Structure 1
């Protein structure tokens, strides 16, 4: 992976964000969940209307995989559950905040590198990496919460 330094004066929001996220994923991918505070996310979120544009291509290039994006809305008091049997995910709040839990799949349903559950408050400016073999739940939104979900699909040879 080639991580070029980004100059301070450059319009570096998306570039720094993608670089920092890719660097974190290069360390944690297939190993464990991770919470990262990528540089440049504040500028992206300030300009976004519920979506962070232009991330999938550059991130996919750095990671050597296909990256797709979708949106997830969590109403006040709502809950969302998911698993990562087929692909890794990155959850990026772009509006509001919520509680997040990430833990291994139940025994017999897949492999997880960790046996522990991670609990946190997921806020704008943070990116939560959920590797394959884990389940996640999002709840306790005090205001409507919107997340961009990046799916990191395995490379196809």
Structure 2
């Protein structure tokens, strides 16, 4: 897990204040370790839920926070198959969004822009299990095209705006 924290720190250092970035961890043990983090049970089908991270996610967030000199707030987001689009609320903080299980389409937009996805949208992508998206403080994201139960780990970097 230490290598994942180091990669997140480098990603924030390289992209903070500049723009979004997509990260695929180099260490093949990262995703299995993230999947072992204790988390609440998946809610029943048809329910989308965001819950604060548990002990393992808190430990990961604390280590990242120590390295970045910030408070990092973790949460798990559970999306059900065929969910309606889910949008992040602009909060002035940078975020790291890791897909643990499943996949979804993600469209990034600047705060105040229309996040409607389209074939020519320059910041639209498909996020799959194992990918981490760095979202700058001046962006929001919209998740859609969720065809299978999807679990995200969100790390909100407070104090970066």
- The TM-score normalised by the length of structure 2 is 0.75
SS in 2 for 1:83: coil
Instruction: Report the equivalent of 2:46.
Output: none
| d(CA) in 2 for partners of 1:117, 1:133 | 16
Structure 1 residue runs of 4+, over 6 Å off? Answer: none
Task: Find the partner of 1:45 among 4, 23, 34.
Answer: 34
Identify which of 86, 93, 103 aligns with 1:97.
103
Counterpart Cα distance in 2 of 1:84 and 1:26: 21
Structure 1 residue aligned with 2:11, among 24, 39, 42? 24
Number of the residue aligned with 2:50: none
Structure 1 Cα separation of the partners of residues 64 and 86 of structure 2: 25
The DSSP-based 3-state class of the residue aligned with 2:147 is: coil
Residue in 2 that maps onto 1:140? 145
Could you tell me which residue of structure 1 aligns to residue 93 of structure 2? 87
Deviations 1:26-63 (A, max 9, x none): 11012101111123422323423557633101111111
Task: Structure 1: state its 5+ residue gaps.
Answer: 1-13, 108-115
Give the corresponding residue for 2:23.
36
Question: 1-side partners of 2:136 and 2:60: how far apart?
Answer: 19
* Contact 1:103–1:117 under 8 Å retained in 2: no
Compute the RMSD of aligned alpha carbons: 1.9
Task: Please tell me whether residue 62 in structure 1 is matched to residue 63 in structure 2.
Answer: no
Q: Offset at 1:152?
A: 0.1
Question: What SS does structure 2 have at the residue aligned with 1:55?
Answer: helix
Q: Please list the CA deviations of residues 130-149 of structure 1 after superposition, one character each: whole Å capped at 9, or x if unmatched.
A: 11111210011111101111
What is the CA–CA distance in structure 2 between the aligned matches of 1:62 and 1:137, rounded to whole Å?
28
Deviations 1:79-111 (A, max 9, x none): 21013332111111111111111111226xxxx
Separation of aligned partners in 1, 2:129 and 2:144: 15
